[in-house]
Amino acid sequence: MVDQKTARRRSADRGDEPPTLVLKRGVRSDDQTQIMRFTPTGTTLLPRIADAPPPPDEPTAAVRQPPRLPWWTQLLVFVLPVAIAFPVAWRGVGNRQLWNDEHATWHAATLSWGDLGTLLGNIDRVVALYYTVMHGWIGLFGDGPTALRLPSVLAMAVAAGATGLIGQRLFDAPTGIVAGALFAVLPAVSRYAQEARPYAFAIAGAAVATWLFLVALDRPRWRWWLLYGFVLGLTAYFHVVAILVLAAHAVLGWSRYRRSERDVRLWKALGALALIAALVMPLAYAAKGQSFAIDWIKADLDTVKQLPRQLFGSYAVAAAFGGMALVAAITLPLARRRTVLLGLLAWALVPPLLTYLTFPLLHLFLFRYLLFTLPAWALLCAGATSGLIRLITVRSWPQLLVGAVLVPVAVLLALPAHEQIRQDLEPGEPDYHAAAAVVSAKLAPGDGIVYAGTTRPPRLGMAYEMRDVPRPDDVLVSVPSEQLGDFGVRECPITSTCVAKRERLWLVSTSYSQDPWSEMPVEKAQALKRLFAVTEPTHHRRIHVYLLVRKSD
């Protein structure tokens, strides 16, 4: 037989609460409830709630364990935001042309495994897991625009559902549903759900890891802590900046740790943190030598001004969500949700502030790297209304009525941005589809192709648009990208030697000028100008096509 003292000690070691029987009497309102608590050590008549405010360092709402909801309720909290996010993100998913970064994804994911290893040895090692996933995906579903972007659509839908589950844990089920729905209708969410890059995976990973962290706090068993550590470590392999969501976890976790009792959650959290470090440190070390790839990122005043618009999709949406976050800063402390507020603010604000302050060293201050903070902003927005409702009533269902108004208002504010992100071309990007159509329509046997342009080198874009049709030989390549381990190629040092036998060449240029020889190395321009005459120029958005015909002697 185990005595009561031993049983209590084992329960404390597991982080469990001692068995408690609570009776209420004289219930007229929250502040007039008197509680009689029966525990194994005796019976205690607690004072009225109005006479016993919570300790200042442990807000009641932040530390209490939420009631266990039926599985179908939690499933509903997850599914409803997913049901909104997926169709919103799916609309027009294949209409916009791929742009420069997506061409890089296509190139990397269609290499052989050996060539992909060579590429990752030189560049983009921090997104190696994403390229690996896409390599397998393309093998199954092809490389059309819709197929390339579908994984991001699915990941963003999961992020919306996970946002709902986080809201249910931090507030209640109706607030979680509203937060997930608000996240789903953000223009930036649709924009990066429709992009073949790892950002949607990073957002989903950060949101799922945060939900697992909250579950582990409520059920402090090793399997939850290890699963949390593994998911967050894996998230860093989709984008390493997403690891900064740990700032929110630190705030929320410390508030739940009871130092006066033998609470094992701190030690299990440290164990999960050790697992995360073990997973992330090799990635950080491996990527250290590839920082040259992001040297182009800026952190000047204009970049800071553009951040809200780029992060949310428009200034109007940014102002609305920022305003609701200010309301949350007022209402949540009054509703005894101070720690929840601090945790969400840490998630939303620490990553941009930290990447800005460390910019001279790390060059990570880029809005795309900070997209994983969007769930926090949606939770703050929903939390603001939840705080207001909690000041009026203890019931949670009115939040659904508020959400029925709040979400359509967010949609109306976001509509112009949604229309803009579904245009045929990303602003400032070349129209490779039109250029490829010109070359394909007039292609003759023996034709070659050469490229010019430094801002957006057109070689990958043209290769993608002509991947399924005959295309001219890339005559100036001396070392292909597969051997070079890069997205570019090494061209012939003597241009006239490489084009000696060609009668016709197609020149595709992404130069800002319509001069065919602009943004081209001097030797290359002089040789082509001496040997070929320019005929049939065609000009499209940010791209020009010229047919070069050899001059007669």
Tokens of 358: 């460390």
Q: Is residue 282 predicted with pLDDT exceeding 90?
A: no
Give the pLDDT of residue 24.
44
Give the pLDDT of residue 31.
38
| Helix (H/G/I), strand (E/B), else coil: 546 | strand
- Identify residue 212 by its one-letter amino acid code: L
Give the pLDDT of residue 68.
66
Give the pLDDT of residue 261.
58
Alpha helix positions (H), 430-521: 432-441, 459-465, 481-484, 495-498
Tokens of 36: 């009689």
Q: What is the DSSP string of 438-462?
A: HHHHT--TT-EEEEE-SSS--HHHH
CB atoms closer than 10 angstroms to residue 296: 8
Out of 216-220, 372-376, 447-451, least confident range: 216-220
Nearest CA-CA partner of 94 in 172, 44, 147: 147
Q: Is residue 262 predicted with pLDDT exceeding 70?
A: no
Q: Looking up tokens 């900064």, which residue turns up? A: 244
Confidence of residue 388 (pLDDT cuts 50, 70, 90): confident
Give the model confidence (pLDDT) of 140-173 as tens digits. Answer: 999 999 999 999 999 999 999 999 999 999 998 9
Give the model confidence (pLDDT) of 290-340 as tens digits. Answer: 666 677 788 899 999 999 999 999 999 999 999 999 999 999 998 888 999
Give the pLDDT of residue 331.
92
State the average pLDDT over residues 127-152: 95
Give the model confidence (pLDDT) of 432-446 as tens digits. Answer: 999 999 999 999 999
Q: Is residue 518 predicted with pLDDT exceeding 60?
A: yes
Buried b (16+ CB within 10 A) or exposed e, 19-41: eeeeeeeeeeeeeeeebeeeeee
Question: Which of 22-36, 58-72, 255-269, 390-404 reaches the highest mean pLDDT?
Answer: 390-404
Confidence of residue 44 (pLDDT cuts 50, 70, 90): very low
- Tell me the CA end-to-end span of the chain in Å, nearest whole number: 107
Give the pLDDT of residue 401.
86
Give the model confidence (pLDDT) of 70-118 as tens digits. Answer: 777 889 999 999 999 999 999 999 999 999 999 999 999 999 999 999 9
Q: Looking up tokens 């970049």, which residue turns up? A: 303
Nearest CA-CA partner of 351 in 489, 202, 181, 533: 202
355 and 362 in contact (C-beta within 8 Å)? yes
The span from the CA of 34 to the CA of 54, in Å, is: 15
Give the pLDDT of residue 32.
39
Give the model confidence (pLDDT) of 233-244 as tens digits. Answer: 999 999 999 999
State the average pLDDT over residues 511-523: 93
Give the model confidence (pLDDT) of 347-387 as tens digits. Answer: 999 999 999 999 988 889 999 999 999 999 999 999 999 88
Tokens of 314: 């428009």
Residues facing 474 on adjacent strands: 449
DSSP 239: -
Q: Is residue 36 predicted with pLDDT exceeding 80?
A: no
Q: What is the DSSP string of 277-335?
A: HHHHHHHHHHHGGGGGGGTT---SHHHHHHHHHHHHSSHHHHHHHHHHHHHHHHHHHHT
Q: Is residue 479 predicted with pLDDT exceeding 50?
A: yes
Give the pLDDT of residue 111.
95
Out of 197-201, 388-392, 463-467, 515-519, least confident range: 388-392
H/E element, 190: helix 187-193
Q: Is residue 545 predicted with pLDDT exceeding 80?
A: yes
Q: Is residue 521 predicted with pLDDT exceeding 50?
A: yes
Q: Is residue 471 predicted with pLDDT exceeding 90?
A: yes
pTM beyond 0.75: yes
Out of 393-402, 482-491, 530-539, least confident range: 393-402
Rg, the chain, Cα only = 29
According to the 3-state scheme, what is the secondary structure of 332-348?
HHHCCCHHHHHHHHHHH
Give the pLDDT of residue 218.
86
Give the pLDDT of residue 27.
40
State the average pLDDT over residues 413-423: 92
Percent of the chain predicted with pLDDT > 90: 66
Give the pLDDT of residue 118.
92
250 and 347 in contact (C-beta within 8 Å)? no
Give the pLDDT of residue 125.
85
Handedness of CA 141, 147, 151, 157 (dihedral sign): negative
| Helix (H/G/I), strand (E/B), else coil: 199 | helix
Decide which of 430 and 59 is more confident. Answer: 430
Nearest CA-CA partner of 374 in 170, 145, 210: 210
The span from the CA of 241 to the CA of 292, in Å, is: 17
Out of 3-12, 39-48, 66-75, 133-142, least confident range: 39-48
